[in-house]
Amino acid sequence: MGNNAQISTSISKRYALLIVVVTTLVIAFLYAAGLFGGHGTTAQQFVNLQENNKPQFSFRRAHAKGVCLAGEFESSGLLSPYSTSEFFQKGAQPFVGRFSIAGGNPLAPDLAAPVRSLALSFASDSGQRWRTAMNTPPVMAVRTPEEFYQQIQVLTPDPATGKPDGEKIKAFFAAHPETAAFNAWKNSYTATTSFATEQYHSINAFYVLDAQGQRQAVRWAAVPQAHAQPMAADISDSDPDALQNELAQRLAENPVRFDLMVSLADESDDENNATIAWPAERKTINAGTVVIRSVQPQQGGACEGINFDPLVLPQGMQATDDPILNARGSAYAESYRRRARESFIEAQTAGAQQ
C-alpha cells in the first residue's frame, strides 16, 4: 500500500471511531433523558394524563378532593430495634394529614371513588421529615411506571362516549397477568361508610435501618380501630360529601385511631415489585397508633401546601428501587409545581382586585 492510501485508511478509521463515539454519546444521552421504551414516561406526561385536559386550577392533579387532618402518632417503640428513626422511638409525634379520594376532580362524589387515601406528614424539631401517602388497595396492578401510565390511559373515559372502553380495559388486564393480586383485592373489597374504617396501605416497600446500618424491607398499613359498616349498594341519592361530613361528625365526638402495622419482608419477597402481596404470616409489628383529632377544609388548610412525596424519608428509613415508588417523587413534584403556581396567581389576582 502506498503512503497516500495508508494515510486515507488511517483518516477513515479515525472518522469511523469518531462516529462510533458520537453515536454512543447521543444514545447514552437519549437513554438518560428517558426517550426509549421502558423509560419513556415523564412526570409531565403522567400529570398531563391525570389532568385529562381538564386541569383543576390550584388543586392536586390526583386525589384532588380531600380534607386536612391534625393529630399525633403515639409510637409504641416496637419498631425501634429495626429503625433508628426518631419517629419510631417510644413517644408522641404530631402530624398534618389528609384524607382524600382518588381522581382529579375536586367536586367528585365521595362514595363513587374506587380508591380512598390517607396521607401523613411528620416534621420533628431536629429537622427530620417523613411523608407517607397510602391507598386502600394493598398492591399495584402493574409493576412499572410505564405500565401504570398505560393502565391510567385505558381507564380514562373516551371523550366521544364519556366512558372508558370496556374492550380496551379487558385487553389490558388480559395482557398483564401480574394484575391478579390487585383484581383479587378489588373483587373482595367492600367500601365502608367512613374514611375512619378503611385500611390504608403503603403499597410500595421501603427499608428501615437499625443502629448498625442493617436494612430490612418493610411495608405498612394503617389498620382502623373503629368498627366498619359496609356501604349501601345504591349510592345514587347520597350526599356528594358523605365521607367528609361523616368524618366531621365522628371527630366531634371522639378521635379516630389507626394501628400502624409494619410487615417485615423475608428473603423470598421482592421489595421492588409492588404487584405481589407478602404472605400474611410475615412478622408484623404494631409500630404505634395514628390518632386523628381534628379536620379542616383543604383550601387554606395546613395540608394544602404539603407535597406528600413518599421519597421524603427520615434518617433510619430509605427508599427501595421499586420503579413505581421512584417515579412518584417527580410526578408529585410536577403536580405540586402546577398547583402552587396557580394558587400564587390566584392570590395575586385577588389582591389586585381589592
Q: Nearest to residue 123, comparing CAs of 85, 96, 90?
A: 96
Q: Which amino acid is at 192?
A: T
CB atoms within 10 A of CB 342: 15
Nearer to ligand HEM, 73 or 332 (CB): 332
Calculate the alpha carbon distances from 278 to 55, 208, 283, 284 in Å: 37, 17, 10, 11
Nearer to ligand HEM, 115 or 210 (CB): 115
Binders of ligand HEM in range 69-128 (CB under 6 A):
98, 100, 117, 119
Contact 141, 179 (CB under 8 A): yes
Q: Which amino acid is at 66?
A: G
- Catalytic-labelled residue, pool 63, 176, 201, 227: 63
**Binding range to ligand HEM, per CB under 6 A, among 73-81, 157-165, 188-196, 202-210:** 202-210
Distance, CA of 334 to CA of 191 (rounded, Å): 30
CB atoms within 10 A of CB 191: 20
Contact 148, 279 (CB under 8 A): no
* Site membership for ligand HEM, residue 179 (CB under 6 A): no
Binders of ligand HEM in range 220-279 (CB under 6 A):
none
**Binding range to ligand HEM, per CB under 6 A, among 29-37, 158-166, 255-263, 321-329:** 321-329
φ, ψ at 305 (rounded to 5°) = -90, 15
Distance, CA of 116 to CA of 204 (rounded, Å): 16
**Binding range to ligand HEM, per CB under 6 A, among 85-93, 182-190, 197-205, 216-224:** 197-205
Number of H helices and number of E strands within the chain? 7, 10
Binders of ligand HEM in range 17-46 (CB under 6 A):
46
Contact 36, 269 (CB under 8 A): no
Window 136-175: contact mask with ligand HEM (x via CB under 6 A): ----x----x--x---------------------------
- Identify the residue among 67, 113, 203, 292 touching ligand HEM (CB under 6 A): 203
Task: Give me 114's grid cell.
Answer: 374506587
Nearer to ligand HEM, 100 or 320 (CB): 100
* Site membership for ligand HEM, residue 49 (CB under 6 A): no
Task: Give me 325's grid cell.
Answer: 415508588
Where are any strands of DSSP class E within 85-169? 91-101, 116-123, 129-135
63: annotated active-site residue: yes
- Identify the residue among 134, 191, 290, 312 touching ligand HEM (CB under 6 A): 134
Window 295-314: contact mask with ligand HEM (x via CB under 6 A): ------------xx------
The nearest distance, CB 310 to ligand HEM, in angstroms, is 7
Give the catalytic positions in this structure: 63
Residue ranges binding ligand HEM (CB under 6 A): 46-47, 50, 60-63, 66, 98, 100, 117, 119, 133-135, 140, 145, 148, 202-204, 307-308, 324, 327-328, 331-332, 335-336, 339
